[in-house]
């Protein structure tokens, strides 16, 4: 009896500590997502209405999951302290949903990495070819410190004083870094959440067993 209660208290405190860390992780994920969404450089490159939106889809998944994580972490702490099977079951279900969202964000970022980069490169190339695309190309040249591509370097846009960097390569490097952040954050937090689901189920089973003994 005392061993069961002692073991349950141990799991309860472990789950409480985990949820506090999980809550902090949620704030971190939310901060990373908001930074990726409102980063001045990214916003400038994709500000136009006809700019590719695939990149922001993964970012929105990350922001949504981070926001829910902060709420779930708080209620998970409350459920652990109260030893409520209902709250712990709800906590487990929420973790499962967020786990799916995190994996989706990570997988989306990795699998669509090439397509996202290709779409932005095509968008930049189309801006070069448009007569009214000077404003767009100027933003890319300023933000990425590049000018033109290997196959197209218009003399009216790229002068002798312009950077020699190929914009296709600059776009690839820029978005690869951002997408790897999305992928690694999503998959990394998903791994931590598996531990939380295990703790919640162990504590839930311990609570049920202790009540059956009583």
Tell me the pLDDT tens digit for each residue of 113-150: 888 889 999 988 888 887 666 788 888 988 899 988 88
pLDDT at position 207: 66
DSSP labels, the chain: -HHHHHHHHHHHHHHHHHHHHHHHHHHHHHHHHHHHHH-HHHHHHT-STTS--HHHHHHHHHHHHHHHHHHHHHHHHHHHHHT-HHHHHHHHHHHHHHHHHHHHHHHHHHHTHHHHHHHHHHHHHHHHHSTT-HHHHHHHHHHHT--S-SS---TTT--TTS----HHHHHHHHHHHHHHHHHHHHHHHHHHHHHHHHHHHHHHHHHHHHHHH-
Q: How far apart are CA 131 and CA 136, in angstroms?
A: 11
On the question of pLDDT at 44 being above 80, the answer is yes
Q: In the predicted model, what is the mean pLDDT of the chain?
A: 78
Percent of the chain with pLDDT over 70: 81
Q: Which has more confidence, 102 or 57? A: 57
Tell me the pLDDT tens digit for each residue of 136-145: 888 898 889 9
DSSP labels, 17-50: HHHHHHHHHHHHHHHHHHHHHH-HHHHHHT-STT
- Among 43-52, 81-90, 168-177, 188-197, the minimum mean pLDDT is found in 81-90
pLDDT at position 127: 85
Banded model confidence at residue 162, pLDDT cuts 50, 70, 90:
confident
pLDDT at position 173: 92
Would you kindly state where each structural domain of the chain is located, as residue ranges? Answer: 2-213
Tell me the pLDDT tens digit for each residue of 7-43: 667 766 777 777 788 788 888 888 988 998 888 888 8
Which residue has tokens 């950077």? 163
pLDDT at position 1: 45
Percent of the chain with pLDDT over 90: 5
The pTM of the full predicted model, rounded to 2 decimals, is 0.73
Of 144, 114, 145, 149, residue with least CA distance to 128 = 149
Q: How far apart are CA 105 and CA 146, in angstroms?
A: 30
Which residue has tokens 């999503």? 186
pLDDT at position 210: 62
């Amino acid at each position: 009896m005392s061993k069961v209660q002692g073991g349950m208290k141990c799991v309860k405190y472990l789950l409480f500590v985990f949820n506090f860390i999980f809550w902090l992780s949620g704030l971190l994920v939310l901060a990373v997502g908001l930074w990726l969404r409102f980063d001045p450089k990214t916003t400038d490159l994709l500000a136009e209405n006809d700019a590719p939106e695939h990149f922001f889809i993964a970012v929105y998944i990350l922001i949504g999951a981070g926001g829910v994580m902060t709420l779930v972490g708080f209620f998970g702490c409350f459920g652990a302290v109260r030893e409520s099977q209902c709250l712990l079951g709800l906590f487990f279900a929420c973790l499962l949903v967020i786990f799916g969202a995190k994996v989706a964000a990570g997988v989306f970022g990795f699998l669509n990495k090439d397509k996202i980069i290709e779409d932005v490169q095509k968008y930049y190339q189309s801006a070069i070819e448009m007569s009214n695309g000077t404003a767009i190309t100027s933003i890319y040249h300023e933000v990425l410190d590049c000018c033109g591509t290997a196959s197209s370097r218009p003399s009216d846009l790229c002068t002798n004083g312009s950077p020699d960097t190929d914009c296709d390569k600059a776009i690839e490097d820029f978005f690869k870094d951002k997408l790897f952040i999305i992928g690694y954050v999503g998959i990394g937090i998903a791994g931590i959440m598996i531990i939380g689901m295990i703790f919640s189920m162990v504590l839930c089973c311990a609570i049920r067993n202790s009540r059956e003994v009583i």
